[in-house]
A = this chain, B = another copy of it.
Amino acid sequence: MAEHTIKAFDAELHEIEHSIMEMGRLAASQVEDALAALTRHEPGLARAVIAADVDIDRLQREIEEKSVLAIARRQPMAVDLREIIGALRIVNGLERIGDYAKNIGKRAIATGPNTGPAAAVRGLQDMSHLVLTALRQVLDAYQHRDSALALAVWRGDQAIDAAHDALFRQLLSHMMQEPAAIPACTQLLFCAKNIERVGDHATNIAETVCYMVQGVPLDSERPKGI
Q: Which residues of A contact B (CB under 8 A)?
A: 50-51, 53, 64-65, 68-69, 71-73, 75-76, 81, 84-85, 88-89, 92, 96, 172, 175-176, 179-180, 182-183, 186, 189-190, 193, 226
Q: What is the bound-complex CA distance between A81 and B66, given in angstroms?
A: 11
Q: Are A50 and B176 in contact (CB under 8 A)?
A: no
Quick one: closest B residue to A71, CB to CB?
B71
A80–chain B nearest beta-carbon distance, Å: 9
Chain B residues closer than 8 Å to A51, beta-carbon distance: 226
Chain B residues closer than 8 Å to A69, beta-carbon distance: 81
A58–chain B nearest beta-carbon distance, Å: 10
> Which of B50, B64, B182 is A175 in contact with, Cβ under 8 Å?
B182
> Which of B68, B179, B186 is A81 in contact with, Cβ under 8 Å?
B68
A199–chain B nearest beta-carbon distance, Å: 14
A182 in contact with B176 given A71-B71, A72-B76 (CB within 8 Å): yes
A189–chain B nearest beta-carbon distance, Å: 7
User: 10 smallest A-B Cβ distances: which pairs?
Assistant: A71-B71, A176-B179, A175-B182, A72-B75, A71-B72, A176-B182, A179-B179, A50-B226, A68-B85, A68-B81
Chain B residues closer than 8 Å to A84, beta-carbon distance: 68
A136–chain B nearest beta-carbon distance, Å: 24
Chain B residues closer than 8 Å to A172, beta-carbon distance: 182-183, 186
A161–chain B nearest beta-carbon distance, Å: 13
Chain B residues closer than 8 Å to A190, beta-carbon distance: 190, 193
Q: Are A85 and B72 in contact (CB under 8 A)?
A: no
Subset of 18 A-B contacts with CB under 8 Å: A53-B226, A65-B85, A68-B71, A68-B84, A68-B85, A68-B88, A72-B72, A72-B75, A75-B75, A88-B88, A172-B183, A175-B179, A175-B186, A176-B179, A179-B179, A186-B186, A189-B189, A190-B190
A186–chain B nearest beta-carbon distance, Å: 6
Q: What is the bound-complex CA distance between A88 and B68, given in angstroms?
A: 10
Q: Are A186 and B189 in contact (CB under 8 A)?
A: yes
